[in-house]
């Protein structure tokens, strides 16, 4: 039972941008295909066309020589195309089973049996009766996959599936995908992560600015060649010079505890560490082990005991974020659109938000718009934000540009310490490189960083010292040269 999916001359034009420019591709079952490209390259548009969410302006799609008319997601489902979106299409307040039965025509009992068989076969274990909002990201993704498998699809499309997964969950996903492929399901894997393409896929198609750039066998490629194709220019590899060892202590955390009333949060237990000037302390860990609580405690969103945080010889544990900024701390939270910036506000308004006191943005309670705009323009040019319109609403910036804006906003006051949480989460290679360079520069200016990240490669690249957080406890602090990603992996899993 061979499946062939053919995309023929597909074009989709949005006002001001050609999302897909005459794209033609052919896929055959038995192989895992990667569709690779930076954010905005047009790969999401292409898979949305395949899943019937978007209707193309031109072009045809053939499944086993049959011309498919995909006018709605329902059409895709009927034609045995299954799709797992990057942002899950689940109903959070419904139970897992309700989520699965809602688009199925089968009776309760027979569906239950079918789900049980699928779960046994692929070693999934999920409680069907609990609401989806209680599941981890990895489990939610499994629910999405089960939802596709129920219909025994011929084609399974995965859109950036690992962006929310831990490493453990990622490797589980990969082995499942390989199994599906062996059973004859055609798999199309959309990503911008090169390592995953090399690990998982057999063939790779690269897209750039809406156009198909290349199609090749994975054996003929390596990470560098793919990166260059994806970005369209040669990327320089960045490396951190070994920091001058300084013994000038900037921040010291002593016996810091945090007990949460929310059962979904992690308690922090007896946190102790210090960071010297010019140093970058990396904090590794699987997400959900207390990172976000730690970030909030350090930034002052959660207030702790006065003496537990000593910064520049001042005890600041009981200060709020605004007051901590006065002492020259700066923060870049994980969620760019929810925590760091207000999506509906304009770029220059967002720039003004964290500078209430220590600037001349406000005169007698009135906004000094010219000053703010001038300042915003400086950030945009200094930090390479790809827009010249500071009146643009922040939600229309791409993730990379928004992150550059946020880091720029924080750094322009030249703080002594920058605390950032997953600064490159979900960004494309170009933006990641830029952010990494910026962070290295900060250290070179003898300023310090606390980098909380779930990306081990990033931590190994940027940190001078590394610690691992597991269930709200920090491991001992290690010198970055002595650490390998294997060692971090073991500590992240909770072993000593």
Partner 1 sequence: MIIDINFIGLIIASIMASAVPLILASCGELITERSGVLNLGVEGMMIIGAISGFALMTVTGSLIIAIFGAMLAGVLISTIFAFLTQTLITNHVATGLALTIFGIGISAMIGKNFVGIPGKEFPVLYEGLKDTIPLLGPILFGHSIVFYFAFALPFITSYFLKKTKIGLIVRAVGDSPESASNQGINVRLVRYACILYGGAMSGLAGAYLSMIYTPQWIENMTGGRGWIALALVVFSTWNPIKILIGAMIFGGLTIIQFHMQAIGVRIPVQFLTALPYIVTIIVLVVISRDSRKIRLSTPSSLGKSFHKDN
**Residues that bind partner 1 in the complex, under the rule CB under 8 A:** 53-55, 72-74, 77, 85, 88-94, 98, 101-103, 131, 133
Closest contact distance (angstroms) between CB of 336 and partner 1 is 20
CA distance 347 to 256: 36
Task: Compute CA 40 distance to the chain's CA centroid, rounded to the nearest angstrom.
Answer: 15
Q: Do residues 122 and 107 make contact, with C-beta atoms less than 8 angstroms apart?
A: no
Closest contact distance (angstroms) between CB of 486 and partner 1 is 39
Q: What CA–CA distances, in Å, run from 409 to 112, 289, 300, 404?
A: 52, 28, 18, 8
Q: Quick one: 48 or 447, whose CB is closer to partner 1?
A: 48
Looking only at the bridges linking them, the beta strands covering 417-421 and 448-452 are: parallel
Q: Quick one: 65 or 264, whose CB is closer to partner 1?
A: 264
Q: Quick one: 93 or 125, whose CB is closer to partner 1?
A: 93
Angle between helices 429-444 and 223-231 (to 10 degrees): 100
Q: Quick one: 47 or 435, whose CB is closer to partner 1?
A: 47
Residues in contact with 105: Cβ distance below 8 Å, sequence separation at least 6, in sequence order = none
Closest contact distance (angstroms) between CB of 6 and partner 1 is 23
Closest contact distance (angstroms) between CB of 260 and partner 1 is 14
Residues in contact with 228: Cβ distance below 8 Å, sequence separation at least 6, in sequence order = 234, 235
Strands (E), 160-242: 186-191, 203-208, 211-217
Q: Quick one: 92 or 441, whose CB is closer to partner 1?
A: 92
Closest contact distance (angstroms) between CB of 72 and partner 1 is 6
CA distance 260 to 190: 38
Q: Quick one: 262 or 388, whose CB is closer to partner 1?
A: 262
Q: What is the token pair recorded at 89?
A: 């299409």
Q: What is the token pair recorded at 201?
A: 């896929």
Closest contact distance (angstroms) between CB of 105 and partner 1 is 10
Three-state DSSP at 155 gives: strand
Q: Quick one: 103 or 127, whose CB is closer to partner 1?
A: 103
Task: Centre a 10 Å sphere on the Cβ of residue 475 and count the other Cβ atoms it contains.
Answer: 18
Closest contact distance (angstroms) between CB of 53 and partner 1 is 6
Q: What is the token pair recorded at 257?
A: 């505890």
């Amino acid at each position: 039972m061979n499946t062939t999916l053919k995309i023929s001359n597909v074009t989709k034009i949005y006002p001001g941008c050609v999302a897909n420019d005459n794209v033609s591709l052919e896929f055959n079952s038995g192989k895992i295909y990667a569709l690779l490209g930076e954010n905005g390259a047009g790969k999401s548009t292409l898979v949305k066309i395949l899943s019937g969410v978007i209707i193309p302006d031109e072009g045809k799609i053939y499944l086993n020589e049959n011309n498919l008319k995909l006018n709605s997601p329902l059409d895709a489902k009927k034609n045995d195309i299954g799709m797992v979106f990057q942002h899950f299409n689940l109903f959070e307040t419904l139970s897992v089973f309700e989520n699965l039965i809602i688009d199925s025509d089968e009776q309760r009992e027979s569906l239950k049996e079918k789900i049980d068989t699928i779960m046994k076969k692929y070693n999934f274990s999920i409680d069907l009766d609990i609401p989806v909002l209680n599941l981890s990201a990895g489990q939610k993704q499994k629910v999405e996959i089960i939802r596709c498998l129920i219909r025994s699809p011929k084609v399974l499309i995965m859109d950036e599936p690992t962006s929310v997964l831990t490493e453990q969950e990622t490797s589980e996903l990969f082995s499942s995908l390989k199994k599906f492929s062996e059973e004859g399901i055609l798999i199309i894997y959309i990503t911008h992560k090169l390592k995953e393409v090399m690990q998982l896929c057999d063939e790779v198609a690269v897209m750039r600015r809406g156009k198909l750039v290349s199609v090749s066998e994975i054996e003929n490629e390596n990470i560098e060649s793919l990166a260059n194709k994806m970005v369209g220019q040669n990327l320089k590899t960045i490396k951190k010079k070994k920091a001058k060892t300084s013994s000038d202590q900037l921040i010291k955390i002593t016996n810091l505890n945090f007990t949460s009333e929310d059962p979904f949060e992690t308690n922090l237990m007896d946190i102790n560490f210090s960071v010297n000037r010019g140093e970058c302390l990396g904090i590794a860990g699987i997400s959900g082990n207390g990172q976000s609580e730690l970030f909030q405690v350090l930034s002052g969103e959660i207030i702790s005991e006065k003496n537990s945080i000593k910064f520049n010889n001042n005890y600041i544990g009981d200060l709020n974020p605004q007051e901590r900024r006065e002492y020259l701390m700066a923060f870049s939270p994980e969620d760019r659109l929810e925590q760091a910036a207000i999506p509906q506000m304009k770029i220059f308004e967002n720039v003004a938000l964290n500078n209430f006191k220590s600037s001349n943005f406000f005169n007698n309670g009135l906004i000094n718009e010219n000053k703010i705009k001038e300042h915003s323009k400086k950030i945009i040019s200094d930090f390479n934000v790809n827009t010249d319109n500071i009146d643009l609403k922040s939600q229309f910036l791409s993730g990379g540009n928004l992150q550059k804006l946020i880091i720029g906003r924080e750094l322009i006051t030249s703080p002594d310490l920058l605390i950032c949480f997953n600064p490159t989460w979900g960004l494309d290679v170009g933006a990641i490189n830029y952010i990494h360079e910026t962070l290295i520069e900060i250290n070179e200016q003898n300023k310090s960083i606390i980098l909380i990240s779930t990306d081990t490669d990033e931590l190994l690249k940027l940190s001078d010292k590394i610690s691992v957080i597991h269930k709200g406890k920090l491991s001992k602090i290690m010198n970055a040269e002595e650490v390998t990603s294997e060692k971090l992996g073991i500590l992240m899993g909770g072993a000593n």
